Amino acid sequence: MKVSIIVPVYNVEKYLDRCLNSLVNQTLRDIEIFVVNDGSPDHSQEIIDKYANMDARVIPLKKKNGGLSDARNFALPHVIGEYIAFVDSDDYVEKDMYEKMYQEAKKRKYDMVECDYIWEYPNRQVIDHSNVEDNYFTDIRVPAWNKLYKTELVKEKKIKFPVGLHYEDIVFCYELLPWTENIGYVKEPLYHYIQRDDSIANTQDIKVRELYDILNIVWDYYQKNKILDKYHDEIEYMFIRYIFGRSFYRVSSLEDKKIRQQYLKEGYDLLTKKFPNWKKNYFLRTKKGIRNFYYRHMNQPFYYMSAKLFHTFGNLILRVPKSWR
């Protein structure tokens, strides 16, 4: 078996046919597709059973509801493919996605391969291109679903998703990266990332602060494995990127002023406590673009002033052309 694909399912009967259809029709035939019903109360199981009866490569699994991470972790011990892939059940993929990514993986025995993906909105599509060729440790995009992972490596290092938290892909990605010798890249948008109002990614509210828990998990992992000194600048820059980056916009967007101020303070304090000399970070000083210019000039007063601007004009600010950043 070449690729094992894990698909967690919860309340997605409207989208599941399209997702599974894109998988069973892959041009790479040597695949197995684990479809994990995470206690879904809708008619998703009927759709899963239909595909399992139609195609022996579709392997249905059922469990009590535990969330996205728990469903992915539940399937991991069952996989036998050379590589592991994840697909969210409201998304879909191009029919040759895994053939192209597997060929790339085998070309130089890559531990991980990623591809470009498409942000699919109701009325438009936006292609997200990778920066992995620049510096994969600081620039890699963390979503689990646009990648292949070498199964042997994931199992040997016992890499799993943190249960009960959002931003789970950050942990999986950054716990795997130190042990990854090489990463391949397919320069094609092969994954369709569907944007819908009721998706997990678009229902953040006060759960945005869970990012700080995620960052602490990554920090603890590097400390426990005695690799924090080796990757100090990379992890420091990751903290800077997330605390001052898009998650900062999400926190700034919260309507409750008291909670917003509390989370802003918690984020700034987390960075300065873990990395008191973050201003001297190598990547912060050397990387170009308006985003890094903004990070370099950040201080506490500017941080809170920026939060006010984002709260009022966030949508306009984020329209700055990506090429400028």
List, as one string, the DSSP characters of 158-200.
T--PPTT-S-HHHHHHHHHGGG---EEEEEEEEEEEE--TTSG
Q: Which domain holds residue 261?
A: 204-324
Same domain, yes or no, for 195 and 229?
Answer: no
Q: At what angle do helices 257-274 and 300-317 cross, to 10 degrees?
A: 120
**Which is higher by pLDDT, 90 or 202?**
90
Residues 110 and 144 in one domain: yes
State residue 221's pLDDT score: 98
**What is d(CA 271, CA 53) in angstroms, rounded to the nearest whole number?**
51
Query: Same structural domain for residues 178 and 97?
Result: yes
* Residue that the structure tokens 């399912």 belong to: 9
Q: Give the span between the Cα atoms of 94 and 117, in whole angstroms.
A: 10
- Which 8-state DSSP code applies to residue 289? S
146 and 129 both lie in a single domain: yes
Token pair 């304090």 in the structure block, residue: 269
* pLDDT tens per residue across span 124-133: 999 998 776 6
DSSP letters for 56-120: TTEEEEEE----HHHHHHHHGGG--SSEEEE--TT-EE-TTHHHHHHHHHHHTT-SEEEEEEEEE
Cα distance between residue 108 and residue 106, in whole Å = 6
Instruction: Check residue 315 and give its pLDDT.
Output: 57
| Among the ranges given (108-112, 168-172, 283-287, 308-312), the one the predictor scored with the smallest mean pLDDT | 308-312
Does the pLDDT value for residue 322 go beyond 50? Answer: no
User: For residues 258 and 265, what is the distance between their CA atoms, to the nearest angstrom?
Assistant: 11
Give the position of tokens 């969330």.
67
277 and 150 housed in the same domain: no
Structure confidence at residue 110 (pLDDT): 96
Least confident of 224-233, 247-256, 306-315: 306-315
User: Which of 148, 174, 201 is at the close of a domain?
Assistant: 201
Residues 180 and 245 in one domain: no
| Total residue length of the chain | 325
Q: Which residues pair with 9 in a beta bridge?
A: 37
Each residue of 39-84: pLDDT tens digit?
Answer: 999 999 999 999 999 999 999 999 999 999 999 999 999 999 999 9
Spatial distance between the Cα atoms of 44 and 317, rounded to a whole number of angstroms: 39
More confident residue, 205 or 189: 189
- Using alpha carbons only, how large is the chain's radius of gyration in Å? 20
- Residue 316 has what pLDDT? 55
Tell me, yes or no, whether 310 and 218 share the same domain: yes
- Taking Cα atoms as reference points, which of 177, 193, 179 lies closest to residue 97? 193
Report pLDDT digits (tens) over 108-129.
999 999 999 999 998 899 999 8
Same domain, 195 and 211: no
In this prediction, residue 80 carries a pLDDT of 97
- The total domain count for the chain is 2
Tokens encoding 70: 């728990």
Give burial (CB, 10 Å; 0-12/13-18/19+) of 220: exposed
pLDDT digits (tens, 9 = 90+) for 214-231: 999 999 999 999 999 999
Q: How confident is the model at residue 277, as a pLDDT? A: 97
pTM score, two decimals?
0.92
Provide the total of helices (H) and of strands (E) in the chain, helices listed first. Answer: 14, 9
What is the SS3 assignment for 11?
Answer: coil
Put residue 138 in one of left, alpha, beta given phi > 0 → left and psi -120 to 50 → alpha. alpha
Q: Specify the pLDDT at position 47.
A: 98
Both 173 and 270 in one domain: the answer is: no
pLDDT bin (cut points 50, 70, 90) of residue 4 is very high
Give CA–CA dist 316/322, Å, rounded: 13
pLDDT for 324: 37
Same domain, residue pair 191 and 236 = no
My answer on whether 220 and 149 are in the same domain is no
| Burial (0-12, 13-18, 19+ Cβ within 10 Å), 261 | middle
Per-residue confidence (pLDDT) for residue 202, from 0 to 100:
43
